[in-house]
Amino acid sequence: MTSSRLGLRLAACLLNASEARRKDIVERIARAALYDKNGHQRPETTVLNIFSDYDYNRSVITIAATIDQLGSSVTSACVEGFKCIDLCQHEGIHPCLGAIDLVPIYPLSHVGLEECGQVAQDIAEKVATCVPGCSVFLFGYADEQAKKSLVEKRKSLGWFRKKSEIDLKELKNDLGTTPCRSYGITGFGASPYVMNCNVTLATQDLAAGRKIAIAIRSSNEGGLEGVQAMAFQHNGQIEIACNVESFRETQDANAASEAYKYISYCICGEMFSYVSPMHIEARIRALALKQGINTAGTALVGFTAEECKRLAEHAISHRIGEFWKKRSSVSM
């Protein structure tokens, strides 16, 4: 029986931890979401995926749960992460400002954005209390005052700059203490689902990669709606790392005429869309070929919104907590 039939109200957290080179630490954080202090499994929580990248030294842990359980699960994972990760010792090519860098909450089934925002805010307050010395900024539907997006908040904090250029003591936080070097500052927020899609270029030309990343950003004319992109040197090639944000569907004629480029889904009766990974790959390939560069592959970091919902329904209804370990052997 699926969670849809049971009427479970599901949400997900794609927790971004600044650690990928110590697998045991990453899995300790994941298991902290699944088990309480007495070692009892939380029956309405599952970890669907762990994506770790050595060069980035960053892991994305996909935690899915009922909305009533997600707060406790994610809080436990964050507390464990702060115990295990010292940002002073962190080295990696991906930008970060926190040992636990990002804690976004996304609705999956029968849950609204405002409720996810309240859950994200509650988690932030609990973590700030449980981990003395940690610092928090809020974004999206957890930012009650301005509902500033993650990109806006990150720009204001200098997240896109080199860590060596940032004075943590000058960063403006929303909760907790002045950011310290060990914990840094962590973003907690809520928004429609954000997918991560990375496209590799068969080149070592970082300038060419940055040119392509700029061209596809939604903030630039001709860019892809909802797409944020950065270019990195990665495994001897260049990777275009894309955050693909969902956006509310409109009746715009131009958008309708290009509907094949988008994937749609529903949140509490409201339709949202995001640019399809295939279209992102095609656009990057076209831009790369203009510079005489081929693409060398595309990878999703986790799942699309639909996949995340479907897998969460299956894992929770069958009480499969450590789904990331058992996915290949699970019959669905």
The closest alpha carbon to 51, from 42, 61, 41, belongs to 61
Q: Which residue spans of the chain are classified as CATH 3.30.70.670?
A: 194-300
According to CATH, what is the number of the domain 3-192+305-329?
3.30.990.10
Mean predicted lDDT score pLDDT of the chain: 92
**Which pLDDT belongs to residue 160?**
86
**Which pLDDT belongs to residue 165?**
78
**Which pLDDT belongs to residue 259?**
53
**Which pLDDT belongs to residue 3?**
43
Share of the chain above pLDDT 70, in %: 93
Residue type, 257: S
Span 300-328, pLDDT tens digits = 988 999 999 999 999 999 999 999 998 76
The closest alpha carbon to 276, from 236, 224, 241, belongs to 224
**Which pLDDT belongs to residue 36?**
92
**Which pLDDT belongs to residue 146?**
85
pTM for this one? 0.93
Q: Which residue spans of the chain are classified as CATH 3.30.990.10?
A: 3-192+305-329
Catalogue the long-range contacts made by 246-254 (C-beta closer than 8 Å, 24 or more residues apart): 246/191, 246/192, 246/193, 246/194, 246/272, 246/273, 246/274, 246/305, 247/192, 247/272, 247/273, 247/274, 248/192, 248/272, 248/273, 249/273
Q: What Cα–Cα distance (Å) separates residue 236 from each residue in 80, 108, 287?
A: 33, 37, 20
**Which pLDDT belongs to residue 258?**
57
**Which pLDDT belongs to residue 1?**
42
**Which pLDDT belongs to residue 2?**
44
Residue spans of the chain under pLDDT 70: 1-6, 250-260, 328-332
CATH 3.30.70.670 fits 194-300, yes or no: yes
Side-chain-side CA neighbours of 241 within 13 Å: the count stands at 14
